[in-house]
Every structure is written in structure tokens, then in C-alpha cells.
Amino acid sequence: MEKKRVLFISQEITPYLPESEMSVKSRYLPQGIQEKGREIRTFMPRYGSVNERRNQLHEVIRLSGMNLVINDADHPLIIKVASIQAARMQVYFIDNEDYFHRKEILKDKKGKEFEDNDERAVFFARGVLETVIKLRWAPDIIHCHGWLASLIPLYIKKAYHNDPLFANSKVVYSVYNENFKNSLSPNTKHNVLLDGVAEEDLKLLDEPTYENMSKLGIEYADAVIQGSDEIDPNLAAYVQDKNKLFLNYQSEETYIDAYNEFYDKVL
């Protein structure tokens, strides 16, 4: 029987970033799922705080070199890779000088969200999907962790659904407790648009907020997981309203087994 393939797309993964609920799960979940007999690939952004020398990142020339047009400008896509030896797994990094060389993730040192976070989310989502196409690796499950991966479900269902690699892919979106205070750029809706994505698909972004981007992720996902013990009540209510296949919060002791079983339900 052919191994099922799970693509993990995460905003943050330890040891490349400090430990957090999301970064720890994004580190140990792929390993646990691989040990249960599934094939995996894992992606995250190459933030400026990721030490390339210490973590032995190197560029994958055959995957790099594409330009992605966002907000009417060309942005080079660079792909790097590193190995977590203890887990026998590789992590692919989406790199771009304009979007990911700053040290912080989504907020500056004063806690204010970056003004171009919408463009960064678009670049990350498209960069991952274009790289998976270059790898010719068809995922059965695509599991997205964190706000920065919130556009993946939309793009899989609308922009990439005709690509045979993604024709049978099911998308799982994990919602975490991410506190955002400000709105996104007024250009968010324009920046998210892509061939296959219509303006009517983006009605939620008439009001471009982080909450509405997460709702977009929920809306187009096949299933949703509550990644934190507590999440935004509006997002919890939205999940319930959309009647999505749902897995509630799982403890550190249970989440790998629970997620693995959940994937089978999604498939």
C-alpha cells in the first residue's frame, strides 16, 4: 500500500525559532507522523533570525530562481533546506530579501504588525505551492499552521485545483491563539487575487483584518484543528457556523496520535 503524503506548512518551527506552542508542534508533529509510516515534507519562512551557519541551511539551486509578482512587483523566490538529524527530516525554507530578512516574524520589536504582512502571506503560500510542484510531490494532506499559512486553503481550492499534483489534496488548517491588534493593508484583497481566484471569493477581505484572513483559511479548508487551548471566540464561532470537520484542542501527550487519526477521517 502506498504511503500517504502529508505536507506541513508552518509559520514557525523550533529549533530554527524559539519554542512556542506552534513551533514545538510544527517540529515534533512531522517527525511523529513520519514515524507512523507516512511520507512528509515541511516548509517554513527563512526569517532573518534563522542562523544559516549554525543550522546548516543551503540553497537548493534547482528549486530557486522563480519570480513571483505581488503588488505589481517581481520578488525572487529562493529555496533553502536544512536537516533535523535526530528526526531524519528535512525542512524547506521560503526565502526572499524583501519579505523575510527582518529578524521578527509578524510584528516589530514594539509589537506592531508589519504593514506588508498580507504580501508576505501571499509570497509564502505561493512560494510553497510552486516549490511542491517543482518537487513533483503530490500531497494527500496539506496541514497549515498559523496565520501566515491562511491563504493555502484558498489557493489550493481555487488557483491550483487544476494541477494534478493537488487534485486530490485535502487541506487542514490549525487555528492558534494569535493576538493581532491592527488591520492589514488596504491593498490586501488586490494582493491576494490570483488566476482562478475571483473577487467574490474574497468578500471577507472587504474588511482586511487578520481575523478575516483566518476565516478565509477556515472557509476553504476541508477540516480545522484547534491548535491552542484557547482561540479567538469569533474564529471558534466561525468554525462552528461553517460546520467543518473539526478536531478540538489536544494536549502534548495526545496530539500526534489524534492528528494522525484525524487525517484518516479527512481523507
**All residues at 6 or more sequence positions from 180 whose CB lies less than 8 Å from its CB, including other chains:** 106, 113, 147, 209, 210, 211
Residue with cell 499559512: 149
State the Cα–Cα distance between residues 18 and 140, nearest whole angstrom: 30
Best CA proximity match to 100, nearest among 82, 89, 84, 116: 116
State the Cα–Cα distance between residues 78 and 66, nearest whole angstrom: 8
Q: Where are the alpha helices (DSSP H) in 108-205?
A: 117-135, 152-158, 188-192
Q: Within the chain, which residues score under 50 in pLDDT?
A: none
What confidence score (pLDDT) does residue 1 get?
67
What confidence score (pLDDT) does residue 113 get?
96
CB 9 within 8 A of CB 144: yes
Residue with cell 500517504: 4
Beta bridge partners of 58: 81
pTM to 2 decimals?
Answer: 0.97
Domains and CATH numbers, the chain: 5-266 (3.40.50.2000)
Best CA proximity match to 266, nearest among 88, 130, 142: 142
- Can you read off the three cell numbers belonging to residue 180? 493581532
What confidence score (pLDDT) does residue 130 get?
97
